[in-house]
Amino acid sequence: MAVPKRRKSRAKRDTRRATHQIEAKAYNECDNCGAPKEPHRICPSCGWYKDRYVIDVVEVQS
């Protein structure tokens, strides 16, 4: 088995971990209704995806 010959310094370890931060989700604007939606997903407000209706959206009354 491979065994490290020398211990990694804190600077090397922290430099590697510097790219592990959490990022905010990306949102696009729906082409049909203009609502924010995730890319490559059906629009949750109108059911539109790639120039066609995919699902019927039912509004929940609260």
User: pLDDT tens, 3-45?
Assistant: 989 999 999 999 999 999 999 999 999 988 999 999 999 998 8
Is residue 55's pLDDT more than 90?
no
For the full predicted model, state whether its pTM sits above 0.85.
no
pLDDT band with cut points at 50, 70 and 90 for residue 57: confident
Position 59 scores a pLDDT of: 74
The angle subtended at Cα 14 by Cα 8 and Cα 20, nearest 5°, is: 125
Sort residue 59 into left (φ over 0), alpha (ψ -120 to 50) or beta: beta
3 state SS of 12: helix
CA 48/CA 44 separation, integer angstroms: 8
